[in-house]
Amino acid sequence: MDPPASGSAYYILGKSYIAASLNLLNKAPIPAQVQAALDRAAEIFETYSAAQVGAFKKKERSELINLKEILDQYNNGILGAEKCTE
């Protein structure tokens, strides 16, 4: 997995976005903050290519990393439902 400090923010966010989407498909409850992060991530993926995101400045890139953090907290049971261990 790419470390946030040096990897592609597009793919860093993508991994957390996919995991959160799969949790939703499994009927996991979703807090409003997480839904907002998913919606914003979807908007980013629909608007920008990986190459375009690669050209983002630090401030733009940090938004993607912040969204990733919210989705990671959801995926790990910190936000919303507890993490499934089965």
For residues 41-66, one letter each, b for 16 or more C-beta atoms within 10 angstroms of the residue's C-beta and e for the rest, the string is beebeeebeeeebeebeeeebeebee
Query: Residue 82: what pLDDT?
Result: 56
pTM over 0.75: yes
Query: Residue 14: what pLDDT?
Result: 96
Look at residue 47 and tell me whether its pLDDT is greater than 50: yes
Looking at the chain, the whole-number percentage of residues with pLDDT higher than 70 is 86
With H, G, I as helix, E, B as strand and everything else as coil, classify residue 7.
coil
Domain ranges of the chain: 9-75
Average pLDDT of the chain, as a whole number: 88
Look at residue 3 and tell me whether its pLDDT is greater than 50: no
